[in-house]
A and B are shown apart, each in its own frame.
Chain A
Amino acid sequence: GAVVSQHPSRVICKSGTSVKIECRSLDFQATTMFWYRQFPKQSLMLMATSNEGSKATYEQGVEKDKFLINHASLTLSTLTVTSAHPEDSSFYICSASTGRNQPQHFGDGTRLSIL
């Protein structure tokens, strides 16, 4: 149980492209979904928290116009990296939770490379 599907697993694209990443909870309804970024050999960095039907809450320093998050249903959240540049290259990981104080279950991550 508690499976989170994330795709695509890898994206390579040119600078200026917008990239959409999907995150789905397959066997449970996720009250809250989270988006993280992780650079090589560094810790997970929370980018934003999203609740179904509400605007996402972004962490300090994360540009909300750059990283668009949509949480359309209890099983689907998307992250769109708009006009991506090489410095946006990173490992993006989503997670989903059924509520406060509950575990977060992670997707397999998306490795984004901007040329």
Chain B
Amino acid sequence: QKEVEQNSGPLSVPEGAIASLNCTYSDRGSQSFFWYRQYSGKSPELIMFIYSNGDKEDGRFTAQLNKASQYVSLLIRDSQPSDSATYLCAVTDTDKLIFGTGTRLQVFP
């Protein structure tokens, strides 16, 4: 059974701080890694994807991938209250995605 694990949280950070979200996966053969944001009652929204080891930055978001450790993370700099949501880590399995259960992030003013 291929698995993606995330801490369910909530992760509480003050406005302006860096939020660090982590994810581990079980299938060493996984090739693509995604971070989705899901607001309560809404559908998931793609915010980052990464294919290679290392860091990938897009605005306030940085995705980090370490295939040797089977670890993916998402850093959110200058966190805002509007970043409060559940963040889903997803990993490819052939043509499907395996989702983690999500980490709930709370950014307080």
- Mark A residues whose CB is within 8 Å of B: 2, 32, 34, 43-44, 46, 49, 91, 93, 97, 99-109
Contact = CB atoms under 8 A, between A and B. Distances in A.
Given A103-B46, A103-B49, A108-B42, A44 B92 contact: no
A24 B96 CA distance: 19
Contacts of B88: 44
Q: Which 8 A-B residue pairings sit nearest by Cβ, starting from the closest?
A: A109-B43, A101-B32, A106-B43, A93-B43, A43-B101, A100-B95, A106-B44, A103-B46
Contacts of A43: 99-102
Nearest to B90: A104
A37 B97 CA distance: 14
Interface residues of B, number: 23
B92 A105 contact: no
Interface in B78-98: 88, 90, 92, 94-97
A44 to B, nearest CB: 5
Contacts of A103: 32, 34, 46, 49
Contacts of A2: 46
A102 B32 contact: yes
A97 B43 contact: no
B29 to A, nearest CB: 11
Given A106-B44, A106-B45, A106-B46, 16 more contacts: A46-B96, A49-B95, A93-B44, A97-B95, A100-B95, A101-B31, A101-B32, A101-B92, A102-B32, A104-B46, A105-B46, A106-B43, A107-B43, A108-B43, A109-B42, A109-B43
